[in-house]
Amino acid sequence: MERAGRAGVRLAKAWEELYGVVPNASEAYRLAILAVEDAAVPVVSPKSANATLGTVLKQIEDQKDWKLPMVREHPRAMSAEIVVQIMRMLWYGQHDRHGGQPSAPGNVSVEEATVAVSLAVTLVHWFNVGIVQRST
């Protein structure tokens, strides 16, 4: 986490919010998303001052040429789609980020935040070491 800069700091805070003395699952989830944005925006949307996880996700989906450096890929688990699916799960799962939705289930659960923080650790690492990359 230390080498991941601001994203690492946010991941550490997310971990603390999730596993600390007084857990706060919603805050852990929020910080996990911010950490991914800190790591992914400079790689995918470096010129955008307002990019979010949703923006990055849309850009990767639209460009269709981002991948992981896998030599062998299963046709039903292509690395490009795995990156998108992980990001989509993280982004969509934060159901407490918007108000005015009476059918929303409320705050995220500890279990949901556990998944979110774990996914964020993976994504931050991948973006930080440069292995999520565009095909050449």
Domains and CATH numbers, the chain: 2-134 (1.20.120.330)
Query: Pick from 115, 108, 120: which is nearest to 32 by CA?
Result: 120
> Please, which residues have CB within 8 angstroms of residue 12's CB and are 6 or more apart in sequence?
1
Q: Are 131 and 69 in contact (CB under 8 A)?
A: yes
Rounded to whole angstroms, the Cα distance separating 25 from 102 reads: 20
Rounded to whole angstroms, the Cα distance separating 38 from 6 reads: 7
Binning pLDDT at 50, 70 and 90, where does residue 30 land?
Answer: very high
Q: Are 14 and 99 in contact (CB under 8 A)?
A: no
pLDDT of residue 2: 52
| CA distances to 99, 105, 112 from 117, in Å | 22, 20, 9
Rounded to whole angstroms, the Cα distance separating 99 from 104 reads: 9
Mean predicted confidence (pLDDT) in 92-120: 79
Binning pLDDT at 50, 70 and 90, where does residue 103 land?
Answer: low
Mean predicted confidence (pLDDT) in 59-74: 94
Q: Would the pTM of this model clear 0.75, i.e. be above it? A: yes
